[in-house]
């Protein structure tokens, strides 16, 4: 297994979208490989989240924005080794997390409008800002305005209303 010495995340097929994978909880050995949908730019996501992701992007485009998934499952291992997450502890490996920026952006300053729209609306499509400001001690990651995680409509609404992170919500 990846991330030796890191506890396995709790997983239930009935609540697949609420699995908590982070520096303290690795992907379980028996986690099923997700069926993937390849996006037009070559990135891939879990096929179960694709309809909501597409609907969200359609609405962003209708609002005059230009969203793009800049990393998803395909980039997970490379990014995991370069940044924070050890392989086996990155949500991108699940196919449930996406980094969303403006198409062609070279930095977060180029995606301010997209990130603001997402902060205000992503929950309506089942996505949460995974690493909000002031929650590093809970999530294990610093604030990332671009990192969104699919948790499903009901959970996303509840987390949006309560201000909870995924870790706090599933306790």
Q: Which residues are catalytic?
A: 144
Total residue length of the chain? 171
31/122 Cα distance (integer angstroms)? 26
Q: Work out the burial of residue 28: count CB atoms within 10 Å of its CB; fewer than 13 is exposed, 13-18 middle, 19 or more buried.
A: middle
Give the Å distances, CA to CA, from 105 to 91, 101, 163.
22, 7, 28
CA atoms within 13 A on the CB side of 23: 12
């Amino acid at each position: 297994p990846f991330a030796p010495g890191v506890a396995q995340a709790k997983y239930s097929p009935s609540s697949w979208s609420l699995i908590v994978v982070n520096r303290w909880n690795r992907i379980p050995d028996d986690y099923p490989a997700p069926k993937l949908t390849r996006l037009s730019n070559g990135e891939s996501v879990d096929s179960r989240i694709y309809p909501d992701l597409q609907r969200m992007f359609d609405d962003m485009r209708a609002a005059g924005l230009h969203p793009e998934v800049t990393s998803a499952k395909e980039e997970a291992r490379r990014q995991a080794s370069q940044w924070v997450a050890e392989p086996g502890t990155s949500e991108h490996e699940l196919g449930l997390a996406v980094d969303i920026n403006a198409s062609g952006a070279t930095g977060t300053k180029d995606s301010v409008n997209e990130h603001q729209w997402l902060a205000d609306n992503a929950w309506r499509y089942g996505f949460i800002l995974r690493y909000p400001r002031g929650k590093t001690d809970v999530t294990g990651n610093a604030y990332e305005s671009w990192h969104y995680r699919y948790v499903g409509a009901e959970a996303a609404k509840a987390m949006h209303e309560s201000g909870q992170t995924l870790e706090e919500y599933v306790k």
